Amino acid sequence: MPACLSSPAYGLGLRSVYFQQILDSSPPVDWFEIISENFMVQGGKALYYLDAIAERYPVVMHGVSLSIGGPHALDPEYLNQLKRLADRVRPAWISDHLCWSRGDAHQLHDLLPLPYTEESLRYVAARVQKVQDLLQRPLVLENVSSYVRNAEDTFSEWEFLDLLSRQSGCELLLDINNVYVSSRNHGFDPLTFIHGLPANNIRQIHLAGHSDYGDYVIDTHDQPVCDPVWALYQQTLEHLGPVATLLERDDHFPPFEELLAELQKARELGGHAMARRQACA
């Protein structure tokens, strides 16, 4: 089962609508990322396809239900299921979101931002370390899109991510689309966000589309990547160097060939960015 994954590498989110086509055609994709919760089952079609695809491609696990910043205790059953899936898949890494998504009893099915305070930093760092002790590997945390700010914030989001990574040992998943969406909603320079992160701790990049309503932007993952996000992606790679890049699509699924063409665009723009980076070195 191939688990090794080096950069630059260009991957796709593994979605059920494309399972059979992937097995039939062995597309030129370097790796796939799964939504962990979709495969926390005892058997059936989902695991059959996952096992078959993981025999051919490196796989990364990406969760949406950890709720690392939530007010509740970490869910031991969820963590045990995550560990069992990791033992089965042997992923290159495991990621989730810097957010809270669950109350004491129910999943809210949304990725809600945290207050960026000293108290929150200590709280989340301790929880990250508990998860990492169980998984026996660094946890990779993604920046989320946001639409409101907490009045008690004492850090920017990028300052909080930087400090959390340094204090807990977690790594970062930099979602370029989420940075763009939040920058539009809150009026900050997206490059200030990106340059404020610890470059050596960024494990992965996400690219995705969103819905633009003029006065505000919503992260929907159901559109192609737009030109401003492509431009920000190039600038990011010129700053960071090669980072494993994943293209996400979660709704309005196009023909698979269209996703492959969009992934090829990421490869080409990444190549141009690396050439410019080397020329300026």
Which residues are CB-neighbours of 165 under 8 A, at least 6 positions away?
Answer: 141, 171, 172, 197, 198, 201
Both structure tokens of 209? 């589309």
Q: What is the CATH number of the domain that holds 191?
A: 3.20.20.150
- Three-state secondary structure call for residue 92: coil
Report the domain count for the chain: 1
pLDDT, tens digit (0-9, with 9 covering 90-100), for 60-111: 999 999 999 998 899 999 999 999 999 999 999 999 999 987 666 566 566 8
- Answer whether residue 221 is part of any domain: yes
264 belongs to a structural domain: yes
pLDDT in tens, 105-143: 566 566 888 999 999 999 999 999 999 999 999 999 999
Asked whether residue 152 is domain-assigned, the answer is yes
Token pair for residue 39?
Answer: 């495969």
In a domain, 4, yes or no: no
Q: Judge residue 38's burial from the number of C-beta atoms within 10 Å of its C-beta, 0-12 exposed, 13-18 middle, 19 or more buried.
A: middle
Whether 2 maps to a domain, the answer reads: no
For residue 35, the SS3 value is strand
Global pTM?
Answer: 0.94
Residue 5, number of CB atoms within 10 A of its CB:
19
Classify residue 253: in a domain, yes or no: yes
Instruction: Indicate if the alpha-carbon torsion angle 114, 125, 129, 207 is positive or negative.
Output: positive
Domain ranges, residue 262: 10-280
Domain assignment present for residue 68? The answer is yes
Residue 3 is assigned to a structural domain of this protein:
no
Considering all CA atoms of the chain, what is the largest pairwise distance in Å, rounded to the nearest integer?
Answer: 54
